[in-house]
A and B are shown apart, each in its own frame.
Chain A
Amino acid sequence: MKKFENIPGNNPFKVPDNYFEEASRKIVTATAGSDNEIRKIGFFRRFRPYILVAASVTGFILISYTALRLLSPSRSERILSEMVADQPEASLLYELDMFSLEESAAAITFTEDNSGADASEIIDYLLSENIEISEIYEKL
């Protein structure tokens, strides 16, 4: 038997009457006052992973959309290119000029009937006869 185990009543400390009820009430009141602040932090902590994922997805979508807008042709350019694609024959005509016409004419193997004429002279002649440049191009 240990010597101190013979000492009766091991708690010589005392507290005021109803101390524990009062202490509990004070503690609960003190913590309840800070309820909102702590709950706000708790809410953010609880949903932080979801908020981060949502922010990442939104950021990715915004960056992708901006990149697509910058790298792809504008709407007006697309409409114009579609119109041009619909009229391939007309677009060729716009590109015709006198220089290319003469080059085409020069490539022709002349027959005995026209062997003495220069290509430019033929074109000049045809134009003077009010023949359309497109028709001249087709003949050549």
Chain B
Amino acid sequence: MSSLRPEENITELLRKDLNRGFRLLVEKYSSKLYWHIRRLVILHEDADDALQNTFINAWKSIDGFRSESSLYTWLYTIATNEALALINKRKKNATVPLDDLESFLASSPEGSTWFDGDEAQVKLQNAILQLPEKQRIVFNLKYFDEMKYEEMSKVLKTSEGALKASYHHAVKKIEKILGED
């Protein structure tokens, strides 16, 4: 029986059999990465595109992956970059800004199809959308993904102290917005 952790098993398998290792990697992380991307880009079709791009970029640079950094943080970094690239692309072309959830969902043909939140959840998502981009990412990673600051620091290339401060400010802003409603 192997004493390796699941992630070490994938890393080892990637060295021995690239195709099998990568298939395992996709199966293990696609769901987590999808939800991380989805909370940032909001629309399902955008999240789907960004998820595929994430894994294709990971595949292309798998030779350059250094085993000293974890697969988990490496993939989250690629996914975050893909999501931000897509948001910036949308900003240039979209007529509806990404700061009002219902309007934004309504701007897409299938936007409302894949959202099923009640009034309180819409308010929370709207409050999160009011945050600056970096704070929004930090809040999502901490609150929804329950990522440790140490790992988040590797994903976002930011000090743990700065991330804690960022999360603290994000929480205060969200509370203030929700309190005003």
CA distance A75 to B55 in the complex (A): 66
Nearest residue, chain A, Cβ from B44: A15
| A23 proximity list for chain B (CB < 8 A) | 30, 34, 48, 51-52
Nearest residue, chain A, Cβ from B172: A2
| A139 proximity list for chain B (CB < 8 A) | none
Nearest residue, chain B, Cβ from A32: B19
The prevalent SS among residues of B at the interface is helix
Q: How many residues of A contact B (CB 8 A)?
A: 30
- The total number of A-B Cβ pairs within 8 Å is 91
B68 at the interface (CB under 8 A from A): no
B22 at the interface (CB under 8 A from A): yes
Task: With A12-B115, A14-B115 as known contacts, state yes or no: A45 contacts B63, CB within 8 Å.
Answer: yes
A74 at the interface (CB under 8 A from B): no
| B127 proximity list for chain A (CB < 8 A) | 4
| A26 proximity list for chain B (CB < 8 A) | 52
Binary contact readout A66-106 vs B (1 if CB under 8 angstroms, 0 otherwise): 00000000000000000000000000000000000000000
Would you call A8 and B120 a contact (CB within 8 A)?
yes
Q: Which of A14-57 contact B (CB under 8 A)?
A: 14-16, 19-20, 23-24, 26-28, 30-32, 34-35, 38-39, 41-42, 45
Q: Pick the contact of A13: B48, B56, B115, B143 (CB < 8 A).
A: B115
B157 at the interface (CB under 8 A from A): no
| A116 proximity list for chain B (CB < 8 A) | none
CA distance A59 to B18 in the complex (A): 35
Binary contact readout B20-57 vs A (1 if CB under 8 angstroms, 0 otherwise): 00110011001100110011001010001001100110
Would you call A38 and B26 a contact (CB within 8 A)?
no
Task: With A27-B26, A28-B26, A35-B19 as known contacts, state yes or no: A11 contacts B35, CB within 8 Å.
Answer: yes
Would you call B114 and A13 a contact (CB within 8 A)?
yes
